[in-house]
Amino acid sequence: MDVRPLSGAIGAEIHGVDLSRDLDDAVVAAIRRVWLDHLVIFFRDQDLTPAQFLALAGRFGQPVEYPFVKGIEGFPEVTPVIKLEGETMNFGGVWHSDTTYLETPPQGTLLIAREVPPTGGDTLFANQYQAYATLSEGMRRLLDGLIGVNESAKADATRTREDSKDGATAKKRFVAEHPVVRTHPETGRRALYVNVGHTTRIAGMTEAESAPLLGFLFRHQIRLEFTCRFSWRPGSIAFWDNRCAQHNPVNDYHGYRRVMHRVTLAGDKPR
């Protein structure tokens, strides 16, 4: 297994592993160690059927359904992430950690590329351990006691695709409160856990009162030195840790089709 870091802050490509095969426990454990160390890992040229992709995800956690979009036929846990040629809005096109408006947000997400534009459509990732560690001692002390309010309506999740699960789900709003700084349950490290896509305010404050602090954090946590950028090819896979990393799909390929399949893995209550 050949591990090649993608940047100084976050991300690594793993080569020499055929994910279509049954992986033994030692290989799965080794991949998970690289994932925990680098926050997001990438694989190239993986020709996986939906069944194989879902089985791969299941080696690292419990796949769960996405609340706003139907899964592909026969695989409700495999969510299509599609931008068509005539569309201008892309799915999840802001910096965010997935579905932090849920009481138990996912631990991780796997995404495989099926069709990609000739250029563009990259995804950015940001290290939230570094975002927290580089704050001043006074700011860290302030944030450690705060709770963030996260709402699905902020991201206009139901507008990203027309094929929402059903009318009732599309109209449902999810709200969850999580620590502004969470402790990773596996590494024990502290990470910023607010995001511009879902976090609306600080609990106990109005949105107007929260805005100066959140605005600073939203700008700080995506500083260039905390990030990496991944360019997709068909068969590329990204697997990121939602507990300590954010991502942002770049919307720079109007007029072209981009088709991905996504699986999210059940997580725990942030603490």
Q: What is the pLDDT of residues 74-119, one digit of tens each?
A: 999 999 999 999 999 998 899 999 999 999 999 999 999 999 999 9
Q: Is residue 67 pLDDT above 60, yes or no?
A: yes
Alpha-carbon dihedral sign for residues 22, 40, 76, 90: negative
Q: Is residue 270 part of a domain?
A: no
Which pLDDT value is given to residue 161? 44
Encode pLDDT of 234-258 as tens digits: 999 999 999 999 999 999 999 999 9
Q: Is residue 72 part of a domain?
A: yes
Average pLDDT over residues 140-152: 96
Res. 200 pLDDT band, cuts 50 70 90: very high
Q: Is residue 166 pLDDT above 90, yes or no?
A: no
Average pLDDT over residues 187-193: 98
| pLDDT above 90 coverage of the chain, percent | 90
Task: Report the predicted TM-score, pTM, of the whole model to 2 decimal places.
Answer: 0.94
Average pLDDT over residues 211-240: 98
Res. 208 pLDDT band, cuts 50 70 90: very high
Q: Is residue 166 part of a domain?
A: yes
Active site residue 98: yes
Which pLDDT value is given to residue 111? 98
Q: Is residue 122 part of a domain?
A: yes
Which pLDDT value is given to residue 158? 37
Which pLDDT value is given to residue 129? 98
Catalytic residue among 98, 161, 178, 198: 98
Q: Is residue 16 pLDDT above 70, yes or no?
A: yes
Active site residue 96: yes
Average pLDDT over residues 266-270: 97
Q: Is residue 241 part of a domain?
A: yes
Q: Is residue 126 part of a domain?
A: yes
Q: Is residue 165 pLDDT above 90, yes or no?
A: no
Which pLDDT value is given to residue 157? 43
Catalytic residue among 96, 201, 243, 258: 96
Average pLDDT over residues 182-193: 98
As a whole number of angstroms, the distance between CA 170 and CA 37 comes to 36
Active site residue 247: yes
Q: Is residue 230 part of a domain?
A: yes
Q: Is residue 271 part of a domain?
A: no
Question: How many domains are there within the chain?
Answer: 1
Catalytic residue among 38, 161, 178, 247: 247
Q: Is residue 160 pLDDT above 80, yes or no?
A: no
CATH number for the domain spanning 114: value is: 3.60.130.10
Catalytic residue among 182, 243, 258, 262: 262
Q: Is residue 233 pLDDT above 60, yes or no?
A: yes
Domain that holds residue 179: 2-265
Which pLDDT value is given to residue 168? 44
